[in-house]
Structures are given as structure tokens and as C-alpha cells.
């Protein structure tokens, strides 16, 4: 089984669009969803419900909204960069540019080494291309929707 793509955000429609883009692109990594920064940090750090790494393996890539119900995508990015085994894991930050993104957020995302910073309205197929360019392990197969 391939390592999952961890998608962090509260928008069920975007999660479905991301999953559908992965299916169309024949990416076989399962998609695991977390609704907020706290849940994503628990997943990344293997805490609580995510302590069993056989059931909840480290993700190959993380896609997170910039603004989340609790915390932010920057908090998720910090957790990934702070985890010894995930320091090189690609993180894609997606922002609702209509809500405004300040320069400090952009600088912080860049400073923490995000693989990409995308506008929310970008097509999920563009996200798939970014994921592929990061060198994430993948193969042609059926995509599963996890947790």
C-alpha cells in the first residue's frame, strides 16, 4: 500500500474534488482527511487516535488549507517540518485568495519550505500535477478514501 495523501481542511467539497482528481490521474495513494490543524498535528505526530502507524502511516504529501477552524496551515506545516521523519515531506498550502492573504503568511509558508502555495480556485488537476512533481511515491491503481 502506498503512503497516504493527507488533506487538511473543513471543506468536504474540496476533499471530494481532490480525491476525484487523484482518481482521474490514476494516483493510487489513499486520501486521508483531517478537518483542522489540531487533528492534522495529531496525525503527523502519531498522537491519540493516530498512534498506530500501521493503521495511520506517515503521509507522502500534505495538502492543507491556509486558514483552518483551529490553527492554520502554517501550524500544520510547522508540525511536519518539526517531525524528524517528515522534514522533507512535500507540503502544499492552499489559500482562499478572495479572503486575502497577507505578505507575512506568504513569507512564513516560503520560509518553512512548502512545496507550493496555490490559490483555492486552482483546479484540482493542477494540484495533482504539483503532487506528481514533488516525487511522491505513487502508481496507477484505485484510490481509496481513508479516515
pLDDT at residue number 146: 46
Crossing angle between the packed helical segments 103-111 and 73-82, to the nearest 10 degrees: 20
- Helices 12-24 and 124-133 cross at an angle (nearest 10°) of 60
State residue 142's pLDDT score. 35
**Residue owning grid cell 504529501:** 61
Mean pLDDT along residues 54-76 = 92
The DSSP code for 3 is P
User: DSSP state, 2?
Assistant: P
Q: Which of 6-10, 21-25, 59-63 has the lowest mean pLDDT?
A: 21-25
Quick one: cell of 134? 514533488
pLDDT in tens, 80-130: 999 988 988 999 888 876 667 888 988 999 999 998 888 877 766 677 777
Domains of the chain in sequence order:
5-133 (3.40.50.2300)
Listed in sequence order, the residues at least 6 apart from 88 whose beta carbon sits closer than 8 Å to its beta carbon are: none
Query: How much is the pTM?
Result: 0.83
Amino acid at each position: 500500500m502506498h503512503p497516504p495523501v493527507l488533506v487538511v481542511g473543513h471543506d468536504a467539497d474540496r476533499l471530494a474534488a481532490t480525491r476525484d482528481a487523484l482518481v482521474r490521474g490514476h494516483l493510487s495513494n489513499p486520501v486521508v482527511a483531517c478537518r483542522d490543524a489540531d487533528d492534522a498535528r495529531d496525525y503527523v505526530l502519531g498522537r491519540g487516535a493516530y498512534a498506530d502507524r500501521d493503521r495511520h502511516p506517515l503521509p507522502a504529501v500534505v495538502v492543507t488549507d491556509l486558514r483552518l477552524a483551529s490553527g492554520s496551515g502554517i501550524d500544520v506545516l510547522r508540525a511536519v517540518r518539526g517531525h524528524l521523519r517528515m522534514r522533507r515531506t512535500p507540503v502544499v498550502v492552499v489559500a482562499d485568495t478572495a479572503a486575502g492573504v497577507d505578505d507575512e503568511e506568504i513569507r512564513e509558508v516560503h520560509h518553512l519550505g512548502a512545496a507550493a502555495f496555490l490559490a483555492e480556485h486552482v483546479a484540482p488537476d493542477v494540484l495533482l500535477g504539483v503532487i506528481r512533481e514533488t516525487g511522491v511515491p505513487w502508481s496507477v491503481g484505485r484510490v481509496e478514501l481513508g479516515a
